[in-house]
Amino acid sequence: MKTVIMAGGKGTRISSIANDIPKPMIQIEGKPVLEHELECLRDQGFTDIILTVSHLGNVIMDYFGDGTKISPATGKPFGVHIEYYFEEKPLGNAGALFKIKDKLDSDFLLLNADSVFHVDFNRFVDFHREHRGLVTLFTHPNSHPYDSGLIITDQNGAVSQWLTKEDNRPRYYRNRVNAGLHVINPDALNLSGIDADQVGTAGENGKILKVDLDRQILKPLAGTGKMFCYDSPEYVKDMGTPERYASVCADYKAGRILEKNLKHKQKAIFLDRDGTINKYVGFLRNIDEFELTDGAADAVRTINRSGYLAIVVTNQPVVARGEVSFEELEEIHNKMETLLGKEGAYLDAIYFCPHHPDRGYEGERPDLKFDCECRKPKPGMLLKAAKDFNIDLAKSWMVGDGENDVKAGQNAGCQTALIGSKDYGQTVTVSSLKDFADRYLKQEEVL
Ligand SMILES: [Zn+2]
């Protein structure tokens, strides 16, 4: 599979760090960012590279050549095959794709060299092939969803809405942001209706026709069922400002970029919902009753910075009882993500069990009334998450306020923390989620 890397950005905001070199050549630990990215791709078998360059692109071309040269940083060959498209005049971030269209005859990876990433690309591509869409976006939660563009999907995982920063957003929404990595089928370019011959030429108004990837190619695919998103907790960060660059360098030194690659075993904090993240009100049926517990956002933020994944696992028999629909439950979870997001905290995933074993109640949904494998204290949700995210359960924790939580954690082989005072054989006892995060995470790993 070919990989196209857009390496033409000007990067003015970061010019205080590097004025005379293009942004992808900025170094992290003595090696250009772009070289880190090419190594990541090469090591996973993606060696057929097309770089689109413009501003100071000759610096990139001189350094990498056709990919057979020896790297000045490592003393070893780059080990990839590189072709270039040099933009004489600015074509917008996707204009070059139309100029190299004849080289793109099947699905390709399209990556942005302005961000730093370490991703299991084969896993991403497998997802794309399974879903048979024209485009798959790499999406993730971030610590500032309130001022980020948002991706909203339908029940099949197809993108239904693409909201930019400026668009009106729903009151409650899932924290899901486009990370700028894509698998694209060339038909998506054809569907855009853009005439390759016109790109870069003056239109009727005298303006040069440029192409914006998000606005002209991707956003119009929302709602067509042809674009999917791939949610991943792997490391993808923009380094567009001096502060972000500094934080990326610190992450690199600490090994955090590499370790988040899903090829490596992950560790998670599994979180119960009611009574742990939100205040306990019995069966929560009304979204207005959902309020975070004191310090919950603070605790989740600590988890986010600790290197653990934050994964909710919750029994919601209210669905089987017919008291809350799947749509209402989703809205409640959107409220949870929105409230956490306002405080810079995010969840990597939410798993819920909608089942209940006992039949015979008025209004119940018989299809959900059975003895399932996911209802805590069974470990089904934790085992599913472990499979989805390659989690080492023995290095993970289950935190909750009930016996079911402790037992589910034990049944999955995790360490366990009980919020409360009873003894169910838990590893540790704490007074709140925040107490757990303060005592067992902060000292261990802090940014
Ligand atoms: Zn279940």
**Predicted local distance difference test score (pLDDT) of residue 54:** 87
Ligand 1 mean position, distance from CA 404 (Å): 13
Active site residues: 272, 274
- How far apart CA 26 and CA 282 sit, in angstroms, is 54
**Predicted local distance difference test score (pLDDT) of residue 12:** 55
Ligand 1 mean position, distance from CA 313 (Å): 11
**Predicted local distance difference test score (pLDDT) of residue 228:** 98
Ligand 1 mean position, distance from CA 374 (Å): 4
**Predicted local distance difference test score (pLDDT) of residue 377:** 98
Ligand 1 mean position, distance from CA 415 (Å): 22
**Predicted local distance difference test score (pLDDT) of residue 76:** 95
All domains in the chain, ordered by first residue: 2-244 (3.90.550.10), 265-444 (3.40.50.1000)
Asked if residues 42 and 90 have their Cβ atoms less than 8 Å apart, the reply is no
**Predicted local distance difference test score (pLDDT) of residue 155:** 86
- Ranges of beta strands (E only) in 54-194 are 81-86, 108-112, 115-118, 135-140, 150-153, 159-163, 177-184
Ligand 1 mean position, distance from CA 405 (Å): 14
pTM over 0.75: yes
**Predicted local distance difference test score (pLDDT) of residue 445:** 47
Ligand 1 mean position, distance from CA 19 (Å): 56
**Predicted local distance difference test score (pLDDT) of residue 17:** 64
- How far apart CA 134 and CA 203 sit, in angstroms, is 29
Q: Can you tell me whether residue 63 is helix, strand or coil? A: helix
Ligand 1 mean position, distance from CA 377 (Å): 10
Ligand 1 mean position, distance from CA 216 (Å): 42
Low-confidence residues of the chain, pLDDT below 70?
Answer: 9-19, 442-447
Alpha carbon separation from 113 to 18, 50, 110, 167, 351 (Å, rounded): 15, 12, 10, 26, 33
**Predicted local distance difference test score (pLDDT) of residue 446:** 41
